[in-house]
A and B are shown apart, each in its own frame.
Chain A
Amino acid sequence: MTSERGLLAQHVSFSYGTNPAVRDVSLSLAPNDTVALVGPNGSGKTTLLRLLSGALRSGTGMVRIDGRPVRDSSPRELARRIAVVPQHVDPSLGLTVEAMVALGRTPYTGMLRPLSQADRAALSQAMQATETMPLRAKRFNELSGGEQQRVALAMAMAQGTEYLLLDEPTVHLDLHHQHAFFELLQALRSVRPMGILAVMHDLNLAALHFSTIVVMEGGSVRAQGEPEEILHSPDAMGVFRAPLDVVSHPQTGLPQVLLQRGPTER
């Protein structure tokens, strides 16, 4: 069990002060698997993500990465295995795109050891894969929201990790950029296999792009399984407290949810 490959949470709990945010959660992200974490506001999704990434190290239970407890790993070791794309990076940063993506190599460089040949290769590969190469001389604060999110992804790719965690990566983006972002993510996985876990607000995007959906409510996991199973489960969908219809996606046959009209249940 402990030598199992993957990012593994076992009976993890965490409280902010006396407010429990995550209660006894167990889940696993296998290498090259994709997991979407969904649930209503305040259900503990982001806290769970921070526990998985090692940003939060207190609390009970155990998070292991390929068998090794995250708690025992230095930030530098962790940063070589897990990359995190935040909801958004401060949009007013004036660094150039190239300098930003280069920050992704931080876990491999030292203060007296600047970028090596291998680092530069990883950088240009990350920029090419995310199509940010043409932007490299621009300043980050001159980019559109979609471009900024692509740069954040490029930075994470430059980290060269096996696991990628994303916190609602497309929540600030329009439809075009939402579509482009997830297609890009798929393309990147075919270049380099990665285990991807994303906190998602949009159930339909989650169903289209992830093989497993984990539903959280009140800090606990309410249900987990394939999109087909989860979106059709009245119990799992009940956490959203909204009247829903489930239909089939015309192109892929995957389940998609539609909101019904009518008064909101209290």
Chain B
Amino acid sequence: MVLATLYGTVSVAPGVVLRILAYNLGFHFIGMHFSAIDESLVWSIRLPRVVAAALVGAALGVAGTLFQGVLRNPLADPYVIGTSAGAQLGVAVSLAVPLQFVVLGFGPVQAAAFIGAVVTVAFVYWLARTAGRTPIVTLLLSGFVVSSFLISITSFVMITTNRVNQVTLWTMGGIDISRYQQLAFTGPCVLVGVGIATIMAPRLDVILLGEEQATHLGVPVERVKVAALLLGSLLTGLAVALAGVVAFVGLVVPHAARLVFGPAHRTLVPAAAIGGAVFVVLVDLIARTIAAPTEIPLGIMTAVVGAPFFLHLLRRTRRTYDI
């Protein structure tokens, strides 16, 4: 993260950056040997962005781990049961409706994305529930169908309101952070979410045995499933509010962590959180520096950087591999 704050479109000498960071962290004895412009660049623009990237990565990494574990499906990612489609519709609608407000530092677009994501998952879950149970296939299919439906509606809203470019750009993902207040809210939320997921880890391991066998081992499967889906959706919603739809992270980071650390959730959840954070911070750094001063959308870069790394890992491991 320090590394990522060192570099940016405008170059600031590394020594200066470190001095700014240290001074603002309370080490006043260093003295203010830097310009106010450099300080505001590093402390008010670059650092929050790096912190936001880390939060987005951690949230998506853990959400992906939860979804893959509880749906027992290697292709599941945080968006699989409708979060991204719901968030997109939220964004399209919020751009179409001239409404201005700020909640916890977030504007209407970000709030709409979060609400769209969480409401959609709740709806999909309700659809898939029959007789007190939610069969996984029904859940995945409902998620797929609802997503398709919402995407069509989103397209309709975009075209009728002439917002195609804005919404599409948002869909590609990019960290959009302007206030520390946003971090003050999402930061603790993500950390608490990761903590809860780690505590749930032993129960998630049992569900790997299959739902019936988990019942035989005394686990209230349906409750664990709801808790994991809810937690995963909230984390995804936070990530979406901070950075739009960042592809690939939530799918691949959990797999990479599994290849390295094995499938036991006690280590997998923290590993996916840290791995996701490091990955998104690095990719965001590349996205904003590689074609400077133009910024490449983060969602494009995650796959470009992540895919070769993941394929390398997959080939190197060569183990028969499953969730």
Residues of A within 8 A of B (CB): 50, 53-55, 74-80, 82-84, 86, 89-90, 92-96, 99, 103-104, 106-107, 109, 111-112, 114, 139, 141, 159
CB distance from B99 to the nearest CB of A (A): 41
Instruction: Say whether, besides A86-B212, A94-B258, A112-B199, A106 and B263 are in contact (CB < 8 Å).
Output: no
B254-281 residues at the A interface, CB under 8 angstroms: 258, 262-264
- Alpha-carbon separation in the docked complex, A96 to B206 (Å): 13
Decide if B202 touches A90 in the complex (CB within 8 Å). no
B210 part of interface (Cβ distance < 8 Å): yes
CB distance from A198 to the nearest CB of B (A): 15
Decide if A99 touches B264 in the complex (CB within 8 Å). yes
Decide if B263 touches A95 in the complex (CB within 8 Å). yes
B295 part of interface (Cβ distance < 8 Å): no
Across the interface, name the chain B residue whose C-beta is closest to A78: B218
Contact of B218 among A75, A86, A114, A139 (CB under 8 A): A75
Across the interface, name the chain A residue whose C-beta is closest to B321: A94
B187-232 residues at the A interface, CB under 8 angstroms: 199-200, 202-203, 205-206, 208-210, 212-213, 215-220
Decide if A86 touches B322 in the complex (CB within 8 Å). no
CB distance from A18 to the nearest CB of B (A): 15
Instruction: Say whether, besides A78-B218, A84-B213, A111 and B202 are in contact (CB < 8 Å).
Output: yes
CB distance from A17 to the nearest CB of B (A): 11
Across the interface, name the chain A residue whose C-beta is closest to B196: A111
B165 part of interface (Cβ distance < 8 Å): no
List chain B residues, Cβ under 8 A from A112.
199
- Alpha-carbon separation in the docked complex, A104 to B218 (Å): 10
List chain A residues, Cβ under 8 A from B199.
111-112
CB distance from A118 to the nearest CB of B (A): 16
- Alpha-carbon separation in the docked complex, A54 to B206 (Å): 17
Decide if A79 touches B218 in the complex (CB within 8 Å). yes
List chain A residues, Cβ under 8 A from B220.
74-76
Contact of B206 among A82, A86, A92, A103 (CB under 8 A): A103
- Alpha-carbon separation in the docked complex, A50 to B212 (Å): 9
B277-323 residues at the A interface, CB under 8 angstroms: 319-323
List chain A residues, Cβ under 8 A from B212.
50, 55, 86
Decide if A139 touches B208 in the complex (CB within 8 Å). no
List chain B residues, Cβ under 8 A from A106.
202-203, 206, 217-219
- Alpha-carbon separation in the docked complex, A86 to B210 (Å): 10
Decide if A83 touches B210 in the complex (CB within 8 Å). no
Decide if A90 touches B218 in the complex (CB within 8 Å). no
Instruction: Say whether, besides A80-B218, A104-B217, A92 and B264 are in contact (CB < 8 Å).
Output: no
Across the interface, name the chain A residue whose C-beta is closest to B202: A111
A-B contacts counted at CB < 8 A amount to: 85
Decide if B208 touches A93 in the complex (CB within 8 Å). yes
Across the interface, name the chain B residue whose C-beta is closest to A108: B218
Decide if A141 touches B320 in the complex (CB within 8 Å). yes
List chain B residues, Cβ under 8 A from A141.
319-320, 322
Decide if A159 touches B262 in the complex (CB within 8 Å). no
Residues of B within 8 A of A (CB): 199-200, 202-203, 205-206, 208-210, 212-213, 215-220, 258, 262-264, 319-323
- Alpha-carbon separation in the docked complex, A78 to B218 (Å): 7
Contacts A55-B216, A90-B208 known; 12 new A-B pairs at CB < 8 A: A55-B212, A74-B220, A76-B218, A83-B216, A84-B213, A86-B210, A90-B210, A93-B208, A93-B209, A96-B264, A106-B217, A114-B202
Contact of B216 among A84, A95, A114 (CB under 8 A): A84
Contact of B205 among A80, A90, A103 (CB under 8 A): A103
Contact of A95 among B208, B213, B320, B321 (CB under 8 A): B208
Contact of B262 among A90, A92, A95 (CB under 8 A): A95
Decide if B320 touches A103 in the complex (CB within 8 Å). no
Contact of B322 among A55, A92, A104, A111 (CB under 8 A): A92
Decide if B213 touches A89 in the complex (CB within 8 Å). yes
Across the interface, name the chain B residue whose C-beta is closest to A58: B131
CB distance from B257 to the nearest CB of A (A): 12
- Alpha-carbon separation in the docked complex, A90 to B263 (Å): 13
List chain B residues, Cβ under 8 A from A103.
205-206, 209, 217
Across the interface, name the chain A residue whose C-beta is closest to B198: A111
List 15 A-B residue pairs with CB atoms under 8 Å apart, sorted by A's residue number.
Answer: A55-B212, A74-B218, A78-B216, A79-B216, A89-B213, A90-B322, A92-B320, A92-B322, A93-B208, A103-B206, A103-B217, A107-B217, A107-B218, A109-B202, A141-B322
CB distance from B313 to the nearest CB of A (A): 15
- Alpha-carbon separation in the docked complex, A182 to B143 (Å): 45
- Alpha-carbon separation in the docked complex, A159 to B216 (Å): 10
CB distance from A255 to the nearest CB of B (A): 33
Decide if B202 touches A139 in the complex (CB within 8 Å). no
Contact of A93 among B216, B219, B263 (CB under 8 A): B263
- Alpha-carbon separation in the docked complex, A89 to B322 (Å): 13
CB distance from B53 to the nearest CB of A (A): 30
- Alpha-carbon separation in the docked complex, A103 to B215 (Å): 12
CB distance from A241 to the nearest CB of B (A): 30
CB distance from A101 to the nearest CB of B (A): 12
